[in-house]
Every structure is written in structure tokens, then in C-alpha cells.
Amino acid sequence: MQATLKSSARFDGVGLHSGAPARMVVHPASADYGIWFRRTDITDRDALIPARWDYVEQTALCTRLVNGADVSVSTVEHVMAALAGCGIRNALIEIDGPEVPILDGSAAPFVATFIERGIQGLGTADRAIRILKPVEVRRGEAVARLDPAETLEIDFHIDFADRAIGRQDKVLNMANGAFVRELCDSRTFCRQADVDAMRAQGLALGGTLENAVVVDGDRVLSPGGLRHDDEAVRHKMLDALGDLALAGAPILGRYTGHRAGHALTNELLRQLFATPGAWRMEVCDDTTSRRLPGVGVKAGDLRAVA
């Protein structure tokens, strides 16, 4: 069944790219409400922004949502992944700045707080988007694809010249607490050369070695090193779950990403919904609901990565 939080959850921090401070509060919401953002610092025009694929403005570094009044919120992918990975389909997210706080660079702080606040069923059946035939988009060597499957599976491949990352591959069935156990603590990552270039352009102003994994060749510069040997590909899977959550309902299908990023995953959703016969919305029976990401998640799942 659909779920929401039992009580509101608050997060304070700075945005990774803007460096702007923000206070964000995730509130419970009723069944079929979906996920919405509201900019509490905007009072002169529509400040509500739906967390939906067709409100995404294409950016290479993060996922940014923009409404018809040109009100935006960026870097939404980590909190969206945490909501999806905890099975929370309905929430109002109030934020007093332009960017979601980066916290430690992963989704674990969101997940831990959601589990602490409690997750409650709403007594209404889940709806899910079933993939009926393959859909694929490409940009150069980058590929994103959806294929039919009985539950959401993510298959991701990355290949970086830096030896600290290199080539990494991982496949996960996202049913139940898999996201919380396997992915939620994996942090955003970048190369030192990219950090320097972004800062020269006025980006990554809130980035530190404490909220991102920074590599330089074969060295990991962040204190404490990696949380997983394959933390980079795990984080790419985290991002993919957050971006796929913008479909508006859980996906029953296999997502394959090869060097894919935020923009390509959004392009894949646009292609999916523009392709006749590629999908259908269905009401989930009990068996299907139990296979959705986050259903039955518990504190013990988080302890596996804490």
C-alpha cells in the first residue's frame, strides 16, 4: 500500500553546487498526493514544484526541477532516492533555498531520519509503471535503457581513467530494503581536476572532502577513504533510483545504465512516456506491492551500512 512519514523530518545544510544554506522539512502527505517541493522563501508567485520527470530542466551535474513560474529546486536526486528507497510515495517537502542540502553526500542521513520518524501505510493500493517493451536512449558511449521485469532492477556500468575508480559494474534487485542496505550510504564522487574546473565556473561551492569522494589518479583524497570498494558505481545507482522516482510511480522494469547520468536518465523517461505501448500504469496486487523498493524497510537494514 502507499506510504508516507508518521511525522515531519527536518534537515539543515548547504547546497553542493550553490553553497547556499537551506532548511528542508519533509512532511507527511495523504494517499495519491505524490511528492511535491514548496519553496518557502518564494512568496510572489507559485512556489509549488511537482517532483516529476516533465518538470526537469536538463543539467549535467544534478537534477533540477522548475515549475511554470520559473521557481526551481536543484540536487533533488538524493532525497528522491531516499524516499523511493524507503517506500515513501507521498510527501510535501518545504525548503527555504534553491538547493537540497548535500549533507554527507549520500542518502543515508535522509534514510536514517525517515526510519526514525516512522513510515506508515495509507490504506490505499500502490500503483506502478510496468515496462512492456524495451526503450533506450544513447549519447555517444553513454546508454540508458529500460526492459520489462517483474520488479525494479538496476544494472550499472562505469569506466573512469582514474585508477581510484576505474571500471565498476553492479546489479541489484531493488525490492524491499536493498537500497537501504546496499546503496544509501554511497557518496557523490568527482575528480580533483573537475572540482577545480567547477569552482572556476562558480559551481561546487558547497563541496568539501567531507561531503564528496574526491579522487586524483589512484588516490582517494577524502578522509577515511571509501565506504565501499565500488562506492562510485553504487552512488550512480543511487542517483538513478532518485531520477527514476520522478516517473511519478515505482517502475516495474530493469534499468541499465552505461556511463549514464542525470540528463540521460531523464531523457529515457521522456522517451518511455512518448513511446506508444511501452508502458502501462497498473494497480499493484499484494505480491507486486511486496516487491516494490522500500516496502518493509526497517532500522536493521540501515545498520548494515552504518
**Amino acid, single-letter form, for residue 192:** Q
CB neighbourhood size of 150 (10 A): 14
Least confident of 214-218, 230-234, 260-264: 214-218
At residue 195, the pLDDT reads 76
* Residue 248: pLDDT band with limits 50, 70, 90: very high
Q: Is the pLDDT of residue 280 over 70?
A: yes
Contacts of 185 (CB under 8 A, 6+ apart): 106, 107, 108, 227, 305, 306
Residue 29 β-bridge partners:
none
Cα(188)–Cα(274) distance, integer angstroms: 31
Q: Is the pLDDT of residue 305 over 60?
A: no
At residue 58, the pLDDT reads 76
At residue 61, the pLDDT reads 80
Mean pLDDT of 2-22: 94
Cα(179)–Cα(196) distance, integer angstroms: 32
Q: Which helix (H) or strand (E) holds 283?
A: strand 279-283
Helices (H), 14-158: 77-85, 108-117
Give per-residue pLDDT as tens, 193-213. Answer: 777 777 777 766 677 777 888
Q: Does domain 127-303 have CATH number 3.30.1700.10?
A: yes
Residue 294 buriedness (CB in 10 A; 0-12 / 13-18 / 19+) = buried
At residue 202, the pLDDT reads 73
Give per-residue pLDDT as tens, 143-179. Answer: 999 999 999 999 999 998 888 899 999 999 999 889 9
Asked if 105 and 187 count as a contact pair (C-beta separation under 8 A), the reply is yes
Give per-residue pLDDT as tens, 16-31. Answer: 888 899 999 999 999 9
pTM: 0.95
Cα(53)–Cα(273) distance, integer angstroms: 10
Contacts of 235 (CB under 8 A, 6+ apart): 106, 183, 186, 187, 188, 189, 213
* Active site members: 262
At residue 204, the pLDDT reads 65
At residue 199, the pLDDT reads 72
Q: Is the pLDDT of residue 219 over 70?
A: yes
Q: Is the pLDDT of residue 296 over 80?
A: yes
Q: Cell numbers for 282, please give them.
A: 497498473
At residue 197, the pLDDT reads 77
Domain ranges of the chain: 3-121, 127-303
What percentage of the chain reaches a pLDDT higher than 70? 97
Q: Identify the residue with better confidence: 160 or 276.
A: 276
Q: Is the pLDDT of residue 304 over 60?
A: no
At residue 31, the pLDDT reads 97
Q: Cell numbers for 185, please give them.
A: 550510504
Cα(141)–Cα(143) distance, integer angstroms: 7
What percentage of the chain reaches a pLDDT higher than 90? 78
Q: Mean pLDDT, the chain, as a whole number?
A: 93
At residue 175, the pLDDT reads 92
Q: Is the pLDDT of residue 295 over 60?
A: yes
**Quick one: CA dihedral 46, 49, 54, 58, positive or negative?**
positive
Question: Domain 3-121: which topology?
Answer: Ribosomal Protein S5; domain 2 (3.30.230)
Q: Identify the residue with better confidence: 205 or 272.
A: 272
Mean pLDDT of 51-58: 94
At residue 46, the pLDDT reads 98
At residue 26, the pLDDT reads 98
